[in-house]
Amino acid sequence: MTQPGRLHPISIAIREMADIFSRMGFGVVQGPELETEHYNFDALNIPPDHPSRDMWDTFWVKTKEGEERTLLRTHTSPMQIRWLEKKGAPTRIIVPGKVFRNEATDMTHEAQFYQLEGLAIDTNITLAHLKGTLERFCKEYFGSDAKVRLRPSFFPFTEPSVEVDVWFPAQGKWLEVMGAGMVHPLVLENAGVDSTKYQGFAFGLGVERFVMIKYGIPDVRLFHSGDIRFNYAFDGPRRPGVGAPTEASGKTI
Ligand code: YSA
C-alpha cells in the first residue's frame, strides 16, 4: 500500500516560524540562491581583502571573463540589501531559504542547509527590540521553558553583533543557533537608506539546528539523507495552512 506524502520537517518548521513572525508583524519574502559577489559580500561591508570573507567557504560559479562573479549564496543576508533597495524603510521581513557552504560536514554542519533571515528597520529601533523579538520567538517556537543566551560576537554587517545559543536538552549543552545585531550604517547606505534617520536589527538563524533542539535530533545530516523513514518518524506538528503564503508573502525579488 502506498503511504500518503507529507511535508518535510524543514518545510513544517519554516511554516511554523513564518507563522510566529507574521504575528509579530513580519512579512515573508524569498530571494535568489544564485547570488552575485556584490550582494553576498561587498554590499554587506565585506570587502575583497577583508579577513571575514574567510568565514564562509564559497561555491563559486564559473563566469566568463569580464562578467560579474556569481556564487551559491553562503547566507540569506544578501536579501537585506535587495529588499531595502527595492522597498526602502521602514520595513519588517523574514527571508527563509537554502544556503550553501563548501565545508566539511559533521553533526551540526552541512554543506547545504536552511537559514531564516530577519530584518526590522525603522526609526528608534534598539538592541532591546532585537533581544525581545528573539526571546519571544524562541519561547513561542520551543515553549516557555526554553533557555536562550546572547553572546557578543562580530559580523562586518552589524554593530554591535551577537550570537545566540539555545539549550539543547537532549544533549545537555548549548548550541549556537543564530547570528544577529544592529544593522551597520554602511549597509543601510549601500542599500540607499538614510542611516541618520533609520536604524534596525537583523538576524540569521539556522533552521535545522532549531528543529534538532526542539525534537532531539542528534545529527543535522539526517535532514538531507533522503531516508524516508526520517520524515515519517518525525513527530512534528501537522497543522495544514500554517504559514501558507499570504498576499504580501512568498514574493521572489
Ligand atoms: C548575522 C548578523 C545579521 O545582521 C544577519 C545575519 C547574521 C548571520 C550571518 N549571515 C551568518 O550566516 N552567520 S553564521 O555563519 O553564524 O550562520 C548563522 C547560523 O546558521 C548559525 O548560527 C547556525 O545555526 C547555522 N549554520 C551555520 N553554518 C551551518 C549552519 N547550520 C548547518 N550547517 C552549517 N554548515
- E strands, 41-187, are 60-61, 70-72, 91-100, 112-122, 148-155, 158-168, 173-183
Residue 242 lies in a domain: no
Indicate the pLDDT class of residue 250, thresholds 50, 70 and 90: very low
| Dist. CA 123–CA 253, nearest whole Å | 25
Q: Please identify, by atom number, the ligand 1 atom nearest to the C-alpha of residue 55.
A: 15
Q: Tell me which of 81, 115, 134, 177 to substitute to probe ligand 1's pocket, judged by most ligand atoms within 8 Å of the beta carbon.
A: 115
Q: Does the structure show a pLDDT above 90 at 155?
A: yes
Residue 187 lies in a domain: yes
Q: Does the structure show a pLDDT above 70 at 237?
A: no
Q: Please identify, by atom number, the ligand 1 atom nearest to the C-alpha of residue 164.
A: 22
| Percent of the chain topping pLDDT 90 | 76
Cβ of 35 below 6 Å from ligand 1: no
* Domains contained in the chain, number: 1
Residue 218 lies in a domain: yes
Q: Which domain holds residue 24?
A: 15-31+75-233
| Dist. CA 244–CA 134, nearest whole Å | 22
Residue 251 lies in a domain: no
pLDDT tens-digit series, residues 156-171: 999 999 999 999 999 9
Q: Tell me which of 81, 113, 222 to substitute to probe ligand 1's pocket, judged by most ligand atoms within 8 Å of the beta carbon.
A: 113
Q: Does the structure show a pLDDT above 90 at 226?
A: no
Q: Does the structure show a pLDDT above 80 at 244?
A: no
Cβ of 158 below 6 Å from ligand 1: yes
Mean pLDDT of 78-99: 98
pLDDT value, residue 158? 98
| Percent of the chain topping pLDDT 70 | 89
Indicate the pLDDT class of residue 236, thresholds 50, 70 and 90: low
Cβ of 110 below 6 Å from ligand 1: yes
Residue 40 lies in a domain: no
pLDDT value, residue 243? 40
Between 98 and 1, residue with greater pLDDT: 98
Cβ of 179 below 6 Å from ligand 1: yes
| Dist. CA 27–CA 42, nearest whole Å | 26
Residue 56 lies in a domain: no
Answer whether 195's CB lies under 8 Å from 123's CB: no
Cβ of 16 below 6 Å from ligand 1: no
Cell output for 210: 532549531
| Dist. CA 161–CA 85, nearest whole Å | 23
pLDDT tens-digit series, residues 180-200: 999 999 999 999 999 999 999
Residue 65 lies in a domain: no
Q: Please identify, by atom number, the ligand 1 atom nearest to the C-alpha of residue 115.
A: 20
Q: Please identify, by atom number, the ligand 1 atom nearest to the C-alpha of residue 178.
A: 22
Q: How far is the CA of 50 from the centre of ligand 1 (A)?
A: 18
| CATH number of the domain where residue 156 is located | 3.30.930.10
pLDDT value, residue 239? 45
| 154 to 51, 122, 180, 230: CA distances (angstroms) | 12, 23, 9, 36
Q: Does the structure show a pLDDT above 70 at 146?
A: yes
Q: What is the DSSP letter of 74?
A: S
Q: In the predicted model, what is the mean pLDDT of the chain?
A: 90
Q: Does the structure show a pLDDT above 50 at 248?
A: no
